[in-house]
Copies of this chain bind each other. A is one copy, B any other.
Amino acid sequence: MSKATDFSERRAQLNDIVMKYAGLNTKRFLNLDTQIYKDGALPEKTKEMLGLVASLVLRCDDCISYHLLNCQQQGVTSEELEEILAVGLIVGGSITIPHLRRALELWDELPPASSHPR
């Protein structure tokens, strides 16, 4: 099983547990977390790039993986990805490097985006 599939399945499994306990406010937060990345004045692609760089400087591997997969679905290229990560690297410093490494490891295993209908 690929790293991407493994990540997505584990995430879905844990989300089931979250929904078992989540109250109304938590559900509203999770819903809002989906809405905010939808097309608006900025396209979803740009918002996913924003989510990715924010996740990198805050150093959360799961959040990075999530936005990385979404970026790929949105057609972000390897060259664009590299520049997003470079902004995160200069802002967040060398402490982000281990996360940058794991992000590129995940990216490196992804098949071309066109074969991945969401």
Contacts and interface: CB of A to CB of B under 8 A. Distances in A.
B51 A49 contact: no
B58 A21 contact: no
Contacts of A93: 57, 89-96
A90 to B, nearest CB: 5
Interface in A12-62: 14-15, 17-18, 20-23, 25-26, 28-30, 32-33, 35-37, 40-42, 46-47, 49-51, 53-62
Contacts of A104: 14, 17-18, 20-21
A80 interface: yes
Nearest to A22: B82
Given A25-B36, A80-B41, A54 B88 contact: yes
**Which 4 pairs, one residue from A and one from B, show the smallest C-beta to C-beta distance?**
A93-B93, A41-B79, A62-B98, A14-B101
